[in-house]
């Protein structure tokens, strides 16, 4: 009898998918959707497999020091990411996620997106170690989206909805690392990075964007980006949507492509889904029927608007209009993963550099940092990727994929500092000294705040080392 009870207990544990255990066959999100007649046509995650049978790579990283790449896979079939593989490969350097593999057989992989009609430049890949969490009892990395980071399929994807076909999408994201700018989306978008009109997108979003007032509270809200509008319900506004602000959020959108759509949200750590809208598509022109183009985006808008921020852990797109029962079962599986960790601040190997007046060393241009962007002082912001620096083994200081550099590799007092591709020159070498200064050996000078100014936007320079408060910079 005891033996039979023990066996039953093991079977029950497998069926509900306790964190740290192998999932039962057929129990993962794409197994559930497929069994309900709405198969996954795209499935992306840096955290885990979403098919029980999947045993391929989750994502690919590129190492900054030498441009080498590595595919990051799973600890076991149908299991969790092998974060130790990434840590070993990226040790003593930084890595960016340059490819997110599609776990379906359709190969709808995502890559940093090209420039679009939004006027923003091409996207860069996310820093691979920006945010570590725990899932299934294992360390894993989320995709930390900052302005300028984003991903897109190469043109129209395979099997995704077009021209008013039904579809569903969910993502697990952060409810604490959010913003109001456009756009932190996952789902169906234009096949090229251009706004081609109402109804040409069908993507789920979590943001503090109140596009159609009035909205209830300050969000973040789960919304549908249907192009030229972030819809909470009906024709846009929906005061019944009170938002989802938990560290991990399940965001769900489904759309029959003709008359009806639904939005749901839930805490990805516990409980079920709340339906925020289940009703008519907007009567504004272009949304009945929908006119999807079948591209896939992550972290951006359809025209490559990439000003917003967010964090992505997993998500899928399905063909057909999912049942409530399937969505509830998927939510139960997500909860069983046991997601945990802080999601509102970067927690990778980077640290802040605190300067005079308690300000932070910051890159101009809101995290987008191209070559030649000025390095300055700014109020410290815990979520700002460009205020988190890595002190590399070769003495350089890097953030958002580039290094703290002296303009023109100069050595004269007053030479300004900037962000530039890491290349190992003398103007990128910095030594933290016991008096708190950051010393550049090539010039024999120290990082300096002109005149001791601490105002936001103060451009930093090098100057003769003098031990003053203007040259005190603490690496945390």
> Which residues are annotated as catalytic?
227, 303
The answer to whether 191 and 156 are in contact (CB under 8 A) is: yes
Strands 185-189 and 202-207: antiparallel
* DSSP code for 26: T
Q: Tokens 């007032």 — which residue?
A: 213
SS3 state at 427: helix
Handedness of CA 70, 76, 80, 84 (dihedral sign): negative
How far is it, in rounded angstroms, from Cα 257 to Cα 199? 9
**Smallest Cα–Cα separation from 441: which of 457, 425, 417?**
425
Point out which residues pair with 279 in neighbouring strands. Answer: 261
Rg (CA), the chain: 23
Q: Cα separation of 29 and 49, whole Å? A: 9
Report residue 258 as tokens.
């003709």
Whether 319 contacts 254, CB under 8 Å: no
Helix (H, G, I), strand (E, B) or coil at 2: helix
351 pairs with which residues across the strands? 389
Q: Whole-angstrom Cα distance, residue 298 to residue 277? A: 23
Peptide bond into 183 cis (omega under 30): yes
Question: Element (H or E) spanning 284, and its range?
Answer: none
61 alpha-carbon distance from chain centroid: 14
Place of tokens 């896939």: 296
Can you tell me the distance from the alpha carbon of 381 to that of 187, in angstroms, rounded to the nearest whole number? 29
Cα distance between residue 229 and residue 199, in whole Å: 9
Contact, 140 vs 81, CB < 8 A?
A: yes
DSSP per position, 204-223:
EEEES---SS--STT--EEE
The torsion angles phi and psi of 35, rounded to 5 degrees, stand at -65, -20
DSSP state of 155: S
- Mind giving me the DSSP string for 230-274? EESBTTB--TT-----SSSEEEEEEE-SSSEEEEEEEETTSS-EE
CA distance 272 to 289: 30
């Amino acid at each position: 009898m005891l033996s039979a009870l023990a066996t039953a207990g093991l079977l029950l544990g497998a069926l509900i998918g306790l964190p740290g255990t192998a999932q039962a066959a057929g129990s993962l999100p794409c197994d559930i959707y497929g069994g309900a007649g709405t198969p996954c046509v795209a499935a992306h995650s840096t955290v885990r497999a979403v098919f029980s049978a999947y045993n391929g790579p989750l994502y690919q990283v590129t190492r900054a020091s030498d441009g080498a790449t590595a595919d990051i896979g799973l600890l076991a079939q149908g299991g969790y990411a092998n974060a130790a593989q990434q840590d070993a490969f990226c040790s003593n350097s930084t890595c960016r996620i340059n490819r997110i593999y599609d776990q379906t057989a359709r190969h709808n992989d995502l890559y940093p997106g090209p420039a679009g009609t939004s006027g923003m430049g091409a996207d860069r890949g996310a820093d691979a170690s920006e945010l570590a969490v725990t899932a299934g009892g294992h360390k894993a990395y989320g995709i930390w989206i900052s302005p300028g980071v984003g991903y897109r399929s190469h043109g129209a994807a395979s099997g995704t909805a077009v021209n008013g076909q039904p579809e569903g999408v969910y993502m697990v994201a952060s409810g604490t690392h959010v913003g109001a700018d456009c756009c932190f989306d996952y789902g169906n978008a234009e096949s090229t990075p251009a706004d081609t009109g109402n109804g040409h997108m069908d993507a789920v979003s979590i943001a503090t964007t109140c596009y159609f007032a009035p909205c209830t509270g300050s969000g973040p809200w789960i919304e549908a980006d249907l192009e030229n509008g972030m819809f909470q319900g009906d024709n846009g506004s929906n005061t019944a949507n009170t938002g989802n602000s938990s560290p991990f959020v399940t965001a769900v959108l489904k759309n029959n492509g003709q008359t009806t759509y639904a939005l749901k949200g839930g805490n990805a750590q516990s409980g079920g889904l709340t339906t925020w809208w289940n009703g008519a598509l907007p009567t504004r022109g272009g949304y009945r029927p929908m006119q999807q183009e079948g591209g896939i985006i992550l972290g951006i808008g359809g025209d490559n608007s990439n000003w917003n921020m967010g964090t992505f852990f997993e998500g899928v797109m399905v063909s057909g209009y999912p049942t409530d029962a399937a969505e509830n079962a998927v939510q139960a599986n997500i909860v069983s993963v046991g997601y945990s960790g802080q999601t509102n601040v970067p927690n990778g190997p980077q640290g802040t550099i605190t300067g005079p007046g308690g300000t932070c060393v910051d890159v101009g241009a809101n995290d987008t940092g191209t070559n030649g962007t000025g390095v300055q002082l700014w109020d410290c912001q815990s979520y700002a990727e460009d205020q988190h620096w890595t002190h590399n083994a070769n003495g350089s200081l890097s953030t958002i994929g580039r290094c703290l550099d002296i303009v023109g590799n100069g050595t004269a007092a007053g030479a300004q500092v900037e962000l530039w591709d890491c290349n190992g020159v003398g103007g990128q070498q910095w030594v933290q000294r016991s008096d708190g200064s950051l010393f550049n050996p090539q010039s024999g000078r120290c990082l300096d705040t002109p005149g001791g100014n601490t105002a936001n936007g103060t451009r930093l320079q090098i100057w003769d080392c003098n031990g003053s408060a203007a040259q005190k910079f603490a690496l945390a």
